[in-house]
Amino acid sequence: MHDNAAGHALRHDLLAALLARGDRPALLMEQFDREHQAALDAASRPPGHPSPAALDAQVDAVVLAGQGAAGWHWPFYRPTIRLALAHGLPILAANVSRAEARTVMQQGLAATGWRAEVPDDTGQAQADAIEASHCGQLTAASAKRLALAQVARDQFMARLVAQHAGRGVVLLAGNGHVRADIGVPRWLAPEQRARTQVVGMLEPGDASAAAYDTVLPTAAQARPDPCAGMRLPAPPAAAPGPAAPARP
């Protein structure tokens, strides 16, 4: 859940624990689109021994270079980016842009360079999840097109995991992407999947625990009803018709 403060704190602490034991993984972030990788590389270059203030300024520079969208709550991500910069970790943009996603939806996976063979159960489960997350306001056909974009993102994340597996990888992405049954792990080679630990931070009442190797429960995050602004208004009540004449 991208808006859960407790989940973000847990992810930060897990990365800190890996660093404390000597790991230096690549940090893959869904929050940055891949066309900004060169700018991210330049902004992430280790400056030597920066002061705390300089490190904070570098965090700002990384978010700016990656053109982090306003839709992400960046105060949740800054501590993890700061931790990565302090330890010289590469920060990799792990998302495809909205424009690329639209092209996938219009032309399909194969036409845009992605693997087109999506298992039926994966494609249907992705479409069902998208339809549910849009509060029932999507048609089944629209949900299936959006599912293609989700698959393209998962495939790209899996490519990055495979490319950087030699040094170790931490992928920071939403639960829908990291699900072992239908997300990124589904697109990893078996030997890579065997070395992968999928961690889900789940709020009370979340029934998806079986989709992760490890589940860390978090407190529920207070939020408004996400469907409140998407529900169609109720039709107006019909005006009363003329009264029938009284019978004698």
Tens digit of pLDDT for each residue in 175-234? 889 999 999 999 999 999 999 999 999 988 888 899 999 999 888 877 777 777 665 555
Averaged pLDDT, 74-85: 95
Element (H, E) at 31: strand 26-33
Confidence band of 245 (pLDDT split at 50, 70, 90)? very low
Averaged pLDDT, 231-239: 54
- In our burial notation (b when 16+ CB lie closer than 10 A, e otherwise), range 66-77 reads bebeeebeeebb
Residue 222's alpha-carbon distances to 13, 195, 209, in angstroms, are 22, 35, 21
Q: What pTM was estimated for this model as a whole?
A: 0.86
Domains of the chain, by residue range, sit at 5-217
- CATH number of this structure's domain 5-217: 3.40.50
Q: Which of 170, 202, 136, 137 minimizes the C-alpha distance to 27?
A: 170
Contact between 34 and 96 (Cβ < 8 Å): yes
Residues forming beta bridges with residue 214, ordered by sequence position: 199
Tens digit of pLDDT for each residue in 131-176? 877 777 778 888 888 999 999 999 999 999 999 999 999 999 988 8
